[in-house]
Amino acid sequence: MILLVDADSLIFASCYRKRETPEDEKYYTDIADARNKFDEQFMAIVNRLEELYNVDKVLCFSGSKGNFRKILSSTYKANRKKQELPPLLNEMHQFVKEYYDSIYGYGVETDDLVARYWFNISQDLGRDNVMIVSIDKDYRQFPCLMYNYHYKHKEILDISVEEAMYNFYEQMIMGDTADNVNYFKGKGKRFAEKYFVNCQTKYQYTRKMLELFRQEYKGKARQKYAECYHLLKLRTG
């Protein structure tokens, strides 16, 4: 088994200290503390999966720079501009690149890079020999094995082709609040379940989505459909 670990969320979390009271400092100020927390979390994940699988290789991904999606839409992740960032975040990204030999890219996001590696490895070795390790729901658009290490879940997902297809088109309706993508306000999971009830093929899903975009955006339907699709679809090539 090859593990593809999206480490961006782990890096972010490693900058936060456990607070005993609300008055305690929110972030670590000593880089050694943040490094230790990352090491512990990373190894706990790998050790857990090694108990279940014969792990041959662990690839770490983090800190990709640039983002083509911000060219597609000026509002993409615009909600994060005022977000407070941990003071040690950049140092932690550098630490992971140096000590974990993490893979990163330019012009794409880390999850695009993970998606590309997953696609190529699954084509070469089979989808049952590679696993994405992440808490990011965006990966559920692929028929993959995925380990969600979030403390509330800690679950291994075996996503079928049918589930992956549905997950992606459901997200086109629901949007992604974390990335400021929302083309259908007020429409969520329950609406998607009813709307796609008879869909089984990509053609059927695409046709239903275009109908919805025409209702919402009239003459700009195809433009908005393409924009939404490319903002949410992870790149595998």
Average pLDDT estimate for 98-119:
93
| Same domain, yes or no: 175 and 152 | no
| Same domain, yes or no: 95 and 177 | no
Tell me what pLDDT residue 134 has. Answer: 96
Residue with the larger pLDDT of the pair 209 and 73: 209
Domain stop point among 140, 159, 178: 159
Q: How many structural domains comprise the chain?
A: 2
Binning pLDDT at 50, 70 and 90, where does residue 9 land? very high
| Same domain, yes or no: 96 and 146 | yes
| Same domain, yes or no: 182 and 117 | no
Average pLDDT estimate for 14-25:
82
Domain stop point among 159, 176, 211: 159
Average pLDDT estimate for 41-61:
96
Reply yes or no on whether the pLDDT at 78 is more than 80. Answer: no
Reply yes or no on whether the pLDDT at 18 is more than 90. Answer: no
| Same domain, yes or no: 109 and 203 | no
Identity of residue 79: N
Domain stop point among 159, 193, 209: 159
Residue with the larger pLDDT of the pair 1 and 83: 1
In-domain check, residue 199 = yes
Tell me what pLDDT residue 154 has. Answer: 87
Task: Return d(Cα 220, Cα 223) in angstroms, integer.
Answer: 5
What residues contact residue 129 under an 8 Å CB cut-off, 6+ apart? 1, 2, 121, 122
| Same domain, yes or no: 93 and 194 | no
| Same domain, yes or no: 122 and 154 | yes
Q: Per residue in 83-114, is it b (16+ CB within 10 Å) or e — as a string?
A: eeebebbeebbebbbeebebbbeeebbbbbbb
| Same domain, yes or no: 103 and 138 | yes
In-domain check, residue 15 = yes
| Same domain, yes or no: 115 and 218 | no
Place of tokens 């893979």: 103
Angle between helix 221-232 and helix 202-217 axes, rounded to 10 deg = 120
Binning pLDDT at 50, 70 and 90, where does residue 107 land? confident
Helix (H) or strand (E) holding 4: strand 2-6
The least confident of 63-67, 140-144, 171-175, 213-217 is: 63-67
Reply yes or no on whether the pLDDT at 70 is more than 90. Answer: no
In-domain check, residue 237 = no
| Same domain, yes or no: 121 and 188 | no
Domain hosting residue 224, numbered range: 162-232
